[in-house]
Amino acid sequence: MVMTYNIAIIVCYFGQFPEHFPLFILSCNANPTVDFYIITDQFVKDVKNVYFITMPFLKFKENVQKCFDFEITLDKAYKICDYRPAFGVIFSDLLQRYDFWGHCDIDEIFGDIRGYIDYNILNTNDKIYQNGHLTLYRNVDRINRAYCLQGGPDYHRIFTTRVNCVFDEGEGIQKIFDANNISTYKDFHCADISRKYHQFRLCAYLPKSKDQEKFQGQIYYYENNKIYRAYAVDSHIETEEYIYIHFSGRTPRLFIDKNANIFFITNTGLYPKIAGTVTLNDMQRYNSYNFSKEMHALGLYYWKKWNRRFNKYVLHK
């Protein structure tokens, strides 16, 4: 009998939840062998394998401060992302019975997590993935404290600056893991949607995004507790599955019931879908190309990009 590794995923979110949040929870519930803990200042009842821990942001900051012998900087909720590699220490009491712990965003919908992160991957790697929107770590002391190692960004500097340093991603904690030869599973199966476009397209770093120009259309959807992309090639429609879709900061509206378990995922919202079918008309209706909207999205993308850099490197905030 093959053993099962217990997994806990932690979300820290302060402020009002976005409109699509019930569908995020639905997708978590569809992965019953993974436990989710959401630390928030909102009052929400536990739902199956999703557990809510309610506290004000200042209390959360106090709890994080207790884990370090120097004064940390944690003035805004977004800065929590830099502390994610230390969650194994910060939430050690909560995580005692788990073999792996991780973190994720809520601007995403999960598919079949165990279908991609299986026993063999967990058995042979200490870290799974290197993007902040989903990463897992083996729950042992040497991995939980790996953020203290040399070979990458200095955690003391990161935890004392107001600047958001994306310590939870590839240019942060992953550099430390690589420098210290700590095994990481880097194959990536996420439908990570690019911020550069109005139309939903995969980010350029994903291998499957390279051939998207030949598609007559494409669309993303949730069905049978899984995430799919359907795309048209010549006269036929093909599909491929992903572990989850990450829509990168967008806040889609709901045009479906909050308990729906079949729906299209688009740049404007979540829409009803007929089970078992996807058509070119669906692609044109929900994910069509519009030149003016694409130019607006591209301009907004670069404005935000350079604004972040100005704030980070010039204003140091």
User: How big is the CA angle at 208 (ends 206 and 211), to the nearest 5 degrees?
Assistant: 120
Distance from C-alpha of 118 to C-alpha of 113, rounded to nearest angstrom: 8
130-139, 190-199, 247-256 — most confident range: 130-139
Mean pLDDT lowest among 74-78, 229-233, 310-314: 310-314
Task: Specify the pTM.
Answer: 0.92
* Confidence band for 285, pLDDT divided at 50, 70 and 90: very high
pLDDT, one tens digit per residue, over 120-163 is 999 999 999 988 899 999 999 999 999 999 999 999 999 999 98
Which CATH code for domain 7-185? Answer: 3.90.550.10
Provide the pLDDT for residue 76. 93
pLDDT of 212: 63
On the question of pLDDT at 1 being above 50, the answer is no
Q: How confident is the model at residue 308 (pLDDT cuts 50, 70, 90)?
A: low
pLDDT digits (tens, 9 = 90+) for 34-56: 999 999 999 999 999 999 999 99
DSSP state of 31: -
**CA 191 to each of CA 120, 163, 202, 209, 284: distance values in angstroms, whole numbers, following the listed order:** 22, 28, 6, 9, 19
Residue ranges of domains in the chain: 7-185, 190-290
